[in-house]
């Protein structure tokens, strides 16, 4: 069973930065595209960043130019660098493959507020 453990969230002021990490049990990354998803209160979970196995990336329009997804296969870890954060980025952030496994990690809370 794959385990995904997200970390790095917190409270940050608008315009600030955070770096999220996602550690996975086992080498699950290499065959799959990996993604960062988020779920804000009262909203559906959405995919915001996707790292394709060949190395290219896709981003939701709402985060394009501000977020960067990357991975370290040797560490079985995926990262999300988030810059110029906005209050509307407030959500619980999850990583998973794309399309996702049925099982999700606990997520990490990101709150952007002054």
Band (55; pLDDT cuts 50, 70, 90): confident
Please answer whether residues 25 and 3 qualify as being in contact, where contact means their C-beta atoms are separated by less than 8 angstroms: yes
* pLDDT digit string, tens, across residues 3-12: 899 999 999 9
Q: Quick one: pLDDT at residue 27?
A: 59
Give per-residue pLDDT as tens, 17-43.
Answer: 999 999 987 656 667 899 999 999 999
For residue 101, pLDDT over 90 is answered with no
**How does strand 108-112 pair with strand 91-98?**
antiparallel
């Amino acid at each position: 069973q794959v385990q995904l453990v997200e970390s790095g969230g917190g409270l940050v002021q608008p315009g600030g930065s955070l770096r999220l990490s996602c550690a996975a049990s086992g080498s699950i990354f290499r065959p799959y595209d990996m993604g960062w998803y988020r779920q804000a209160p009262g909203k559906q979970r959405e995919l915001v960043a996707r790292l394709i196995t060949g190395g290219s990336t896709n981003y939701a329009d709402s985060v394009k130019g501000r977020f960067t997804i990357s991975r370290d296969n040797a560490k079985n870890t995926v990262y999300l660098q988030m810059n110029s954060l906005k209050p509307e980025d407030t959500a619980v952030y999850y990583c998973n493959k794309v399309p996702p496994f049925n099982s999700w990690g606990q997520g990490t809370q990101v709150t952007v507020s002054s």
